[in-house]
């Protein structure tokens, strides 16, 4: 059985902003896909503990007031998300997402923030020994020179997967779309399914580094700083980072 036809854990977060080390989780979804069975969907709404910028609310629809009145405490919700994801990974279920390095990095940072040390270690083990499938990395690898956006909604459209702007940026819809993209890419590119999931994981580590090096060279040619992270699937924190740091004030959209 190929990795794309077996059990999968489709994963996505919606957040307060775009900084994976300093922003916070607002909603999360993990869809456990089991062949021949109805998928098991886990969903969370958290009170992130900091204000949700208007720009982020405009993307995912969750306001600070709504999260405070309806969301779980961040420390509790973060633990539940991480423990659910880690449990699936320990059963060799591949974790699938689009640009999932963002989501895993944020989950790692949130676990650090709330003192969930065992989950921090487990996520680090997942990053080095687990099975992660990142459709952002795969898409860029198999169609390197395609012009246009690589955002989830646009990549989904490219592969014929229905995901409207109204549906996008809901954690459950985005997780499901990433899973469908992964399946289509795997069907179209047999060399990706000839690899065991853990071998595919190791290949993506090198592929992502190459993609980051290429983009870094482009930035330098443009006279811009090369601040592109090379690590995958969890990015190293900035040198001056500490878990209690707040994101810079802004009206950015969320992930």
Mean pLDDT across the chain: 95
Instruction: Please choose, from the candidates 234, 170, 233, the residue with its C-alpha nearest in 3D space to the C-alpha of residue 27.
Output: 170
228 versus 168: the higher-pLDDT residue is 228
CA distance 103 to 36: 28
Q: How do residues 185-194 score in pLDDT, each as one tens digit?
A: 999 999 999 8
Neighbouring-strand partners of residue 31: 10, 41
Average pLDDT over residues 124-144: 97
Average pLDDT over residues 7-24: 98
Query: Kind of pairing, strands 25-33 and 8-15?
Result: antiparallel
Query: Kind of pairing, strands 72-73 and 95-97?
Result: unpaired
pLDDT of residue 1: 72
- 233 close to 106: Cβ distance less than 8 angstroms: no
pLDDT of residue 163: 83
Average pLDDT over residues 20-41: 97
- 13: Cβ–Cβ under 8 A, 6 or more apart, which residues? 25, 26, 27, 28, 102, 103, 106, 107, 171, 255
pLDDT band at residue 169 using 50, 70 and 90 as cut-offs: confident
Using only C-alpha atoms, what is the Rg of the chain?
Answer: 17
pLDDT higher than 80, residue 105: yes
Instruction: Please choose, from the candidates 55, 21, 72, 19, the residue with its C-alpha nearest in 3D space to the C-alpha of residue 236.
Output: 21
Quote the percentage of the chain above a pLDDT of 90: 92
Quote the percentage of the chain above a pLDDT of 70: 96
CA distance 81 to 242: 21
- 3-state class (DSSP) for residue 35: coil
Range from 3-7, 155-159, 246-250 carrying the lowest mean pLDDT: 246-250
254 versus 49: the higher-pLDDT residue is 49
- 105: Cβ–Cβ under 8 A, 6 or more apart, which residues? 20, 21, 233, 234, 235
Q: How do residues 209-251 score in pLDDT, each as one tens digit?
A: 999 999 999 999 999 999 999 999 999 999 999 999 999 987 5
Instruction: Please choose, from the candidates 62, 227, 58, the residue with its C-alpha nearest in 3D space to the C-alpha of residue 24.
Output: 62
Neighbouring-strand partners of residue 27: 14, 45
Average pLDDT over residues 8-34: 98
- 74 close to 46: Cβ distance less than 8 angstroms: yes
């Amino acid at each position: 059985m190929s990795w794309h036809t077996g059990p999968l854990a489709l994963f996505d977060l919606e957040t307060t902003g775009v900084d994976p080390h300093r922003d916070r989780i607002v909603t999360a979804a993990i869809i456990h896909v089991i062949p021949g069975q109805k998928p098991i969907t886990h969903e969370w709404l958290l009170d992130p503990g900091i204000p949700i910028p208007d720009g982020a609310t405009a993307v995912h629809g969750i306001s600070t007031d709504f999260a405070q009145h309806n969301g779980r405490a961040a420390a509790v919700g973060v633990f539940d998300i991480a423990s659910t994801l880690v449990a699936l990974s320990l059963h060799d279920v591949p974790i699938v997402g689009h640009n999932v390095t963002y989501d895993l990095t944020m989950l790692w940072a949130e676990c650090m923030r709330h003192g969930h040390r065992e989950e921090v270690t487990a996520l680090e083990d997942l990053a080095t020994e687990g099975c992660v499938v990142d459709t952002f990395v795969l898409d860029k690898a198999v169609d390197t020179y395609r012009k246009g956006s690589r955002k989830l909604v646009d990549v989904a459209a490219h592969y014929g997967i229905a995901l409207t702007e109204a549906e996008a940026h809901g954690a459950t819809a985005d997780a499901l779309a990433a899973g469908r993209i992964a399946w289509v890419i795997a069907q179209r590119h047999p060399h990706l399914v000839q690899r065991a999931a853990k071998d595919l994981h190791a290949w993506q580590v090198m592929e992502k580094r190459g993609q980051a090096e290429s983009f870094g060279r482009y930035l330098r040619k443009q006279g811009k700083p090369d601040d592109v992270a090379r690590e995958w699937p969890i990015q190293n924190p900035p040198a001056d980072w500490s878990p209690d740091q707040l994101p810079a004030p802004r009206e950015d959209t969320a992930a």
